[in-house]
Structure 1
Amino acid sequence: MAQKKKPQSAGSDRQAKIQAAASSGAGSGANKIVIAAVAAVVAIVAVVGFVVIKQVQSDNAVKGDGQAVPAGATMGGGYPAYQDVTAKAGAPTVEAFEDFQCPGCQQFERAIGSTLVDLAKSGDIKLQYHMLNFLDQRLGNTSSLQASNGAFCAADAGPGKFEEYHTIVYANAPEQEGTGWTAAQLKDYAQQAGLTGDALKTWESCTELGKYTNYNKAVDANAFGKEGIKGTPTFKINGTIIDNNTFATPDQVKAAVAAATK
């Protein structure tokens, strides 16, 4: 025979409800803590993600999505020096194909570099530089590329800064080929070229991000491709390669320019 359930007293029933409410409340509090913690983590992730996205966007803006070219140039094309100078009528175009780590380039820069600069400043020639970096692979470093980036980042600071930086780098060529330059040295050259304050900070950002890396690589590829260059230094006048033996002194340069002037 089934036994009858013993009726609960009013006190025990009240106690059961209190315990149930306490149990329910404890669980609810724990859930609230977990939810708050998760929300905090999500908020932190969102902030970090936003900062990263903004930084990437900022970096891409500097690099031009990898398509940045110096003012006046085209991707893979030579850099026109002294763009603030108007060339005289009939002035020939002189192109210099160089690698910053090339000892021969340094010798030619010392011998005829100032002559080319003077002719360009006076408007007697339209001077273009093609800065190559093929020696990086041969010498096992990235100094040619870094120096080229430094020169074109200097160009962003204003007319004549590329040319000043270019001259300073060659004047400080390392005694031993392949030694290259440190980041601190390249920054010092930028300062010697007159970059200070915000201009120097912009130069640092430009070089750290490698703003002109793709441009430099394209110049190198074009030189040994459609430009028909076999080594450095190489010079062209109005698109024709000049024998270095006839372009090695200031008088030879002036004579070749005079003969090419229309």
Structure 2
Amino acid sequence: MSQRNREGKRGARERLREQRERERARAKRKRTLGVLGAVVAVLGAAVGVGVVASRTDDDPGKGASGSALVPPRGAVGKGRLVIPSGKSEKSAQEGKAGRPGKAGPVTLTVYEDFRCPGCKQFEDVFRKTVHELQDAGRMRVEYHLVTIIDGNLGGTGSVRAANAAACAQDEDPAKFRAYHDVLYRHQPQETRDSYADNGRLIKLADQVPGLVTPAFRRCVEGGRHDTWVRKSNDVFAHSGYASTPTVLLGGKSIYGDPKKPLSPNKLKRMVLAADRD
């Protein structure tokens, strides 16, 4: 074989190798930005989750417009970044009269993004059970609203929906719970930023009796809680948790491990066992 032919074949191999490297790099970038690369087992089914791969604001205390951070009514926790849902500790204790030593209902902590399909899967599977445990005073839920999908795919639907949910909390905690459920039942496809439309969010709020007041409209349209939402997302991004939904019971992660799938009945057993401790 001539020297020229050998060099020509070597050059072709090098070009093929470089092309394959470029294709692998593109595939890796797509996986990183696609947010569906993580898989969670729930009742034996795989679902998509939101994965932290987004930038955070340099100044988490301010939104894009520099507006003040305004927590919704009744927000609790450090920085008042948590929306509680369920019977208060006081009312739960009153319902447990004659059972001394009880510290109140166990807490389910949920980090969610209203655009996240994995969050919708969690809500669709566990909604009824969560409400039953809440209404029985066995469990209290603390919601942390985050915006991973906005950061990964672009758009503002996560922020807009979270702000609207916080506006519902301003009206009435019971309306927050109802509206929270409406938003997940009507969640658009992940790549469609339909929740960026305030009009769409207000129209969905009509499904919650008495929610759409002039004050609610102003809150949604004016982005009253946008900076609060961004602060909540920034804290989550630095929390050590990497995806939504992140679900903790009594501070311990209980959801998303394929080796230990969670079911509604298992959640009930865990809550009741914690209640007996």
Q: Could you state the TM-score of these two structures normalised by the residue count of structure 1?
A: 0.68
The structure-2 alpha-carbon separation of the partners of 1:238 and 1:119, relative to structure 1 and needing over 3 Å to count, comes to same
In structure 1, the partner of 2:86 is 82
Structure 1 Cα separation of the partners of residues 236 and 274 of structure 2: 22
User: Could you tell me which of 67, 70, 82 is aligned with 1:68?
Assistant: 70
User: Could you tell me which of 199, 203, 222 is aligned with 1:188?
Assistant: 203
In structure 2, the partner of 1:255 is 269
What letter matches 2:85 in structure 1?
A
Larger radius of gyration: 1
**Counterpart of 1:156 in 2: which secondary structure?**
helix
**Counterpart of 1:141 in 2: which secondary structure?**
coil
- Contact kept, 8 Å, 1:111 with 1:248, in 2: the verdict is no
The structure-2 alpha-carbon separation of the partners of 1:82 and 1:214, relative to structure 1 and needing over 3 Å to count, comes to same
In structure 1, the partner of 2:221 is 208
What letter matches 2:221 in structure 1?
E
Give per-residue Cα distances to partners, 1:78-124, cap 9 Å, x unaligned: 21013568234442111111110110110110000221122112210
What letter matches 1:78 in structure 2?
V
Structure 2 Cα separation of the partners of residues 146 and 115 of structure 1: 27
Structure 2 Cα separation of the partners of residues 155 and 243 of structure 1: 26
How do residues 2-151 of structure 1 correspond to structure 2 at under 5 angstroms? 66-74=68-76, 75=79, 77-82=81-86, 86-88=91-93, 89-90=102-103, 91-151=105-165
In structure 2, the partner of 1:50 is none
Q: Which runs of 5+ in 2 are unaligned?
A: 1-66, 94-101
Structure 2 Cα separation of the partners of residues 76 and 134 of structure 1: 20
Q: How many aligned residue pairs are there? A: 195
What letter matches 1:117 in structure 2?
H
In structure 1, the partner of 2:247 is 235
**Counterpart of 2:173 in 1: which secondary structure?**
coil
In structure 1, the partner of 2:25 is none
Asked whether 1:217 is paired with 2:221, we answer no
Structure 1 Cα separation of the partners of residues 271 and 248 of structure 2: 11
Give per-residue Cα distances to partners, 1:202-231, cap 9 Å, x unaligned: 1111112211111111111112223x2210
Asked whether 1:172 is paired with 2:186, we answer yes
Structure 2 Cα separation of the partners of residues 243 and 109 of structure 1: 12
Structure 1 Cα separation of the partners of residues 178 and 261 of structure 2: 22
Shift of 1:176: 4.9
Structure 1 Cα separation of the partners of residues 138 and 228 of structure 2: 28
Shift of 1:71: 2.2
Q: Greater helix share, 1 or 2?
A: 1
Between 75-84 and 89-98, report the one with greater CA deviation: 75-84
| % identity of equivalent residues | 29
